[in-house]
Structure 1
Amino acid sequence: MFSSIKHVIEDVKQGVPVVILDDENRENEGDLIVAAEHVSAENINFMATHGRGLICLTLTSEQATCLDLSPMVRKNRSSHGTNFTESIEAASGVTTGISAKDRATTVLAAIGKGAGPHSIVSPGHIFPLIADPGGVLNRAGHTEAGCDLARLAGLKPASVIVEILNADGTMARRDELIKFAKKHRLKLGTVADLIEFRLKNENTVLKVSSRTISTEFGTFLLFQYFDQIKKFSHYALMKGEVPEDQAILVRVHVHDLITDLFGRKRGVGWESPLKNTMYRLAKERNSVLVLLNPQEGTREDEDWSSHSIDSWEDSTLGEIPDMRTFGVGAQILRDLGIRNMQVLGEPKSMHAIRGFGLNIVGYVPQY
């Protein structure tokens, strides 16, 4: 049913399209992926005819910079934080740009040797997506899977991807995707398995120190992790130890300087989300708090002049803004020896978390 990532990579290397799901969960969606170096009018037509979704080109941030691509919008408000750029067309060799041949020509122009701003024009009929530099280890998305699979196949880290829809226009789910792959004799893999494959040989965060600290909430073991992609540190606080026979209470908190210092208004009163978290975790015999530095696009990148502290009543500060980008926190939890955990917070969809060797057994309300 599902192929090993090794076999998926072999087909990617040969230019054969593959089907990639988030995970084996039946609610997950799937994309057709083909290495950009091997793109042709035939497989673009196959994607348009049988995939039916939006045909996109996954690129590294370096390649996007070489092409001088600008973000599609100034502020990305999409639920998954998908990093779209302006659409593109090949600067020459195309007619209207929409035919399968023209779109293949555009892809090859964008990734070719010496490609630059002169190679393309905008707008166009191909939609570039910029992958997170850490790939699926940082963001468990199809954009990152496309670049990772091409790189692991020894090709340029760029792929053409398209969502797979059913004939009635609804999203194809696991059972439909299994039938789709079987019908077209395509390898079927998952982002979760790709994460697991990469973790056998690499990671994007590295533990650099640990020490015991005393706080108003009790004594904790403090760990420092260096983010090898973003070049800054994240931290973890552990109370007690990781039990072998039961789940440990865990909270992953995205640091926000102003709110962590001063709190925020909630209802008729004030609260400090981080302090509330610490109080709750301190009640447990064993617990872990992961403190992540803010990612791009979070509040520390914003213009503070338009904000007042009491305007944050309904904000989600401290939450991971895009639930596909939990990879850094997941790597830290894995390194701490955690396998089964209860998450302090509201239930959320954690795409492909199985690939990190983590199992969420339940959620505990924070308030």
Structure 2
Amino acid sequence: MTTETRVRVDAAISSLRSGLPIVLSHQTRFDEIEGYLVLPADRATTEITSFLVRHTSGLVCAAVPAADCERLWLPPMSGTRGETGFTVTLDAIEGTTTGISASDRATTLRRMANPLSTAQDFTRPGHVSPVRVLEHGRRRGESTVADAASDLCQAVGGSPIAAFAALVSEIDETLLAGEIECHMFATRHGLNEVTIADVAHYCRTSLNYLEKV
């Protein structure tokens, strides 16, 4: 892992630990760069969740490790194959109304991250979209956005459940933000940036994860 990679990841972890979102860049299979806002679910506030919704597609996802999916009874979404992917959506029951407001979704995210919460604390379907992720050592192939988001939050030291949403282009709101726009957005809002590749290198070298293929 290069010094530059370590600096970027350490800065991202520091921001997440402080409750600030970061920009996570992802190279698609079409060699395009997309950006996502990432935030630890246990640090979701109404203000930050509103920021997340305002600058993204509005689809707030949560990267949820397999063990937490079992705790919260989050079976795969109909049609989903394999061990990863979207599960049924949910809303917290207590402290929410319709579930769609930034306040309600922040409450749902924090409740999901609470290790004492159970499936009975939520209604289904809802307005937060969980994505099941595997532990780093059990994955096959390259890490996804959800994988990297969860890894970063695990490195923070709190809950490994991460909220994330795709940044939308401010030039053309029908598209997602590209590489240049992601960088400009991060600069304008004072956010740290990191790539999925950065996170993968960090996990292999600093967290002592072992790939099992």
Partners of 1:22 and 1:65 lie apart in 2 by: 28
Alignment correspondent of 1:215? none
User: Out of 191, 195, 204, which is 2:210 matched to?
Assistant: 204
Task: Give the drift of 1:46.
Answer: 0.3
Task: Give the drift of 1:16.
Answer: 0.6
Secondary structure of 2:91's partner?
Answer: strand
Contact 2:41 2:112 in 1 (8 A): no
1:100–1:60 distance in 2 versus 1, CA, 3 Å: same
1:6 matches 2:10: yes
**Pairs within 5 Å for 1:50-61:** 50-61=55-66
1:120 matches 2:122: yes
Partners of 1:143 and 1:135 lie apart in 2 by: 15
Give the RMSD, CA atoms, in angstroms: 2.4
Partners of 2:185 and 2:129 lie apart in 1 by: 24
Contact 2:137 2:209 in 1 (8 A): no
Whose RCO is larger (CA < 8 A, sep 6+)?
Answer: 2
Tell me how many residue pairs correspond in the alignment.
204
1:185–1:152 distance in 2 versus 1, CA, 3 Å: same
Query: Please, what TM-score do these two structures have when normalized by structure 2?
Result: 0.87
User: Out of 101, 105, 108, which is 2:107 matched to?
Assistant: 105
User: Out of 152, 158, 162, which is 2:161 matched to?
Assistant: 158
Secondary structure of 2:37's partner?
Answer: strand
1:64–1:82 distance in 2 versus 1, CA, 3 Å: closer
Task: Give the drift of 1:102.
Answer: 0.6
Runs of 4+ in structure 1 deviating by more than 3 angstroms, as ranges, are 23-26, 74-77, 135-139
User: Out of 3, 18, 21, which is 1:17 matched to?
Assistant: 21
Task: Quote the sequence identity (%).
Answer: 27
**Greater radius of gyration (CA):** 1
Partners of 2:181 and 2:152 lie apart in 1 by: 23
Secondary structure of 1:186's partner?
Answer: coil
- Letter of the structure 2 residue corresponding to residue 190 of structure 1: T
Partners of 1:156 and 1:116 lie apart in 2 by: 15
| Structure 2: gaps spanning 5 or more residues | none
1:55–1:71 distance in 2 versus 1, CA, 3 Å: same
Going by fraction, where is helix more abundant, 1 or 2? 2
| Structure 1: gaps spanning 5 or more residues | 206-226, 228-327, 329-367
Contact 2:89 2:127 in 1 (8 A): yes
Partners of 1:156 and 1:105 lie apart in 2 by: 15
User: Out of 12, 30, 34, which is 2:39 matched to?
Assistant: 34
Task: Give the drift of 1:140.
Answer: 1.3
1:63 matches 2:65: no
1:135–1:90 distance in 2 versus 1, CA, 3 Å: farther
1:185–1:45 distance in 2 versus 1, CA, 3 Å: same
Deviations 1:194-239 (CA, angstroms, capped at 9, x unpaired): 111122142424xxxxxxxxxxxxxxxxxxxxx3xxxxxxxxxxxx
Task: Give the drift of 1:92.
Answer: 1.8
Alignment correspondent of 2:147? 144
Deviations 1:1-59 (CA, angstroms, capped at 9, x unpaired): 98611111111111110001125997211110001110011111101111234111111
**Pairs within 5 Å for 1:1-367:** 4-22=8-26, 27-76=32-81, 83-134=85-136, 138=140, 139-167=142-170, 168-201=173-206, 202-205=208-211, 227=212, 328=213
Contact 1:88 1:123 in 2 (8 A): yes
